[in-house]
Structure 1
Amino acid sequence: MLASVVIACYKHEAYIEECLETVYRQNFPDVELIIVDDHSPDKSFEIAQRVLKKRSFAKRFASCSLLKNPLNLGAPGTWNRALSLAKGDMIFLLNSDDAFSKDRIRIFASQYEREKLFFGFSAVEPIDERGRPITTYQFPTSLRYAIDRGRITGSPLSWIFLDSQVAASSGNFVLSRELLRKIGLLSDLKYCHDWEFALRAVTVVEPKYVELDRYMYRLHSTNSFRSLSKVAERETRACMSSYCTNAIAQRPINRACLSPINFGDAFYSFIKLHPNFSYWLKQLYAPYHPDHRTVDWNEWTMPLKWR
């Protein structure tokens, strides 16, 4: 099996070499490496170019590609250019300031390489600017808690994505090339493009979760989630609208994802377990909610029925 590692790089000259070294050290043999630099104003591209020119580095991979956007396209455009070049059966995304554990590819490949439609992620370990673990940061703990809480209530993993992006980062995504063909590339959202992509993915296939910390998520002063959080409210609405289109307005391929077409009237009880999704559903799909009273008929509307 060929595994493709795709890296979207932007202004990470301090971290890109370490990032690439963690891909080099993977204990899985057949790896394709694709790096797309988003016209970084620093030396990110030059450092990546220098690393790839090392004879031992290039020989380790089935193939290596390094491209630079002629102008800044933003994260979604850069990811999409990298993904469009991937030839592997299983695709691993990686942010240029983050890192892989040395067995990340092997773990996913050994468990899921035979699955034609696959979407998964692992637990994350936060690291600081020097690559040291951060034990005081609560973000990974809150993600694990959300996943554990869902398991206790018996909720499928796809339901948990309705509350938040529990994979933490687009760099934590692992997917089959066949799934990418089916759901398409990332949408043009500045902040929530990874969450919207995940919500499309879970309407097709139930996600898988590796409980081991196999993705190292770096926290530093220029993290994009810190600088773009002001647009989150608007883009959250776009994410929920996308999910409604793919899971509520039509029959979803994943029969476990939360949809009135999958669960009938019980759907309206299940959504109460997910307050964020319940709120957005009322905003976007009020005519299909039992608490909605139409202005014209002054009577309760009926929920969506099976098609």
Structure 2
Amino acid sequence: MLASVVIACYRHESYIEECLETVYRQTFPDIELVVIDDHSPDKSFEVAQRLTKKKSFSKRFVSCTLLRNPLNLGAHCTWNRALSLAKGDLIFFLNSDDAFSKDRIRIFASQYDNEKLFFGFSAVEPIDERGRPITTHQFPTSLRYAIDRARITGSPLSWSFLDSQIAASTGNFVLSRELLRKIGLLSDLKYCHDWEFALRAITVVEPRYVESDRYMYRLHSTNSFRSLSNVAESETRACMSSYCMNAIAQRPINRACLSPINFGDAFYKFIKLHPNFNYWAKQLYAPYQPDHRTVDWNEWTMPPDWR
């Protein structure tokens, strides 16, 4: 099995070498590396080029590709260019300022087992600018809480993605090539392209969570989420619309995905208790309600009383 690691690089000259080294040190043998630099104004590309030109580095990989966009195209275009070049059966995203644990690819490869449709992510460990673990930050705890809550309640893990992007980052995604063919590339969003992508993925397959493996997520002053928070509200609406179109307006392939077609009246009972999804359905499901039909029960579903 061939594993592809795709990296979208932008303005991370201080971190890109460490990022690439963690791919080099993977215990899994057959890896293809694809790095696309989004016309970084710093020396990110030059640092990556210097490392990939080393014979000892490039020989470790089945293939090693480093390209630079002719101009700054944005994160989603850079990810999509990298994905279009990936040939592996299993594709690993990796942010250029983050890092992999040494067994990450091997662990996911053992979970994958040649499944046609696969979507996974792991636990996240925040690190600082020097690569040291941050034990005081709350966001890993909140992500684990969301996952643990799904386990305790017995609800599918895909439902937790309706609250937030519980994988924390695009770089934490692992998916099969076949799933990528089915759901398509990342959408043109600056802040929420990863969440929208995940919401499309969960309508097709239930996500896998690997607790034993860590994705090292670096927190620093130039994190994209800090600079793009002003567009979060409008892009959240785009994510809502995407999910509704893929899970509500048609039958989802993933039969555990939260949808009126999958769960009938239980869907409405659930969303009344779910603030995020209640809002989604009020704003975006309303146009479909008059024509919606529950296929399994062969009867019309009853829209909830929104008053």
- Normalising by structure 1, we get a TM-score of 0.94
Letter in 1 for 2:200: R
Partners of 1:28 and 1:279 in 2: CA distance: 44
Residue 184 (str. 1) matches residue 173 (str. 2) = no
1:286 CA drift (Å): 2.5
Match among 287, 290, 294 for residue 305 of structure 1: 294
Q: 1:105-124 alignment to 2 at 5 Å?
A: 105-124=105-124
Partners of 2:213 and 2:116 in 1: CA distance: 25
1:213 CA drift (Å): 4.3
Contact between 1:90 and 1:113, CA under 8 Å: does it hold in 2? no
Partner of residue 43, structure 1 = 43
Letter in 2 for 1:18: E
Counterpart secondary structure, 1:161: helix
Deviations 1:230-285 (A, max 9, x none): 11110001001000000000011111100000111111012234321211221112
Deviations 1:145-166 (A, max 9, x none): 0111122111101111001000
Counterpart secondary structure, 2:56: helix
Partner of residue 256, structure 1 = 256
Deviations 1:128-184 (A, max 9, x none): 000000000000100000111122111101111001000000000000000000000
Deviations 1:51-82 (A, max 9, x none): 00111100100000000000111000000000
1:2 and 1:273, CA in 2 relative to 1: closer, same or farther beyond 3 A?
farther
Contact between 1:122 and 1:215, CA under 8 Å: does it hold in 2? yes
Unaligned runs of 5+ in 2: 299-307
Partners of 2:287 and 2:95 in 1: CA distance: 40
Counterpart secondary structure, 1:132: coil
Partners of 2:198 and 2:263 in 1: CA distance: 21
Partners of 1:71 and 1:281 in 2: CA distance: 39
Partners of 2:92 and 2:69 in 1: CA distance: 21
Contact between 2:4 and 2:88, CA under 8 Å: does it hold in 1? yes
Partner of residue 220, structure 1 = 220
1:204 and 1:161, CA in 2 relative to 1: closer, same or farther beyond 3 A?
same
Partner of residue 147, structure 2 = 147
Partner of residue 11, structure 2 = 11
Contact between 2:107 and 2:213, CA under 8 Å: does it hold in 1? no
1:303 CA drift (Å): 5.9
Identity of aligned residues (%): 85
Partners of 1:117 and 1:303 in 2: CA distance: 28
Deviations 1:161-218 (A, max 9, x none): 0010000000000000000000000000000000000000000001000012420000
Most deviating of 264-273 and 172-181: 264-273
Partners of 2:156 and 2:136 in 1: CA distance: 29
1:304 CA drift (Å): 4.1
Residue 78 (str. 1) matches residue 78 (str. 2) = yes
Partners of 2:108 and 2:255 in 1: CA distance: 23
Counterpart secondary structure, 1:56: helix
Q: Provide runs of 4+ in structure 1 moved above 6 Å.
A: none
Partner of residue 294, structure 1 = none
Partner of residue 54, structure 1 = 54
Partners of 1:184 and 1:288 in 2: CA distance: 24
Partner of residue 305, structure 2 = none
Partners of 2:176 and 2:41 in 1: CA distance: 33
- Normalising by structure 2, we get a TM-score of 0.94
Counterpart secondary structure, 2:264: helix
Deviations 1:21-79 (A, max 9, x none): 00000000000000000000000000000000111100100000000000111000000
Counterpart secondary structure, 2:162: coil
Counterpart secondary structure, 2:212: strand
Partner of residue 293, structure 1 = none
Contact between 1:265 and 1:303, CA under 8 Å: does it hold in 2? no
Contact between 1:120 and 1:175, CA under 8 Å: does it hold in 2? yes
Counterpart secondary structure, 2:59: helix
Letter in 2 for 1:48: A
1:63 and 1:273, CA in 2 relative to 1: closer, same or farther beyond 3 A?
farther
Unaligned runs of 5+ in 1: 290-300
Contact between 1:13 and 1:43, CA under 8 Å: does it hold in 2? yes
1:284 and 1:234, CA in 2 relative to 1: closer, same or farther beyond 3 A?
same
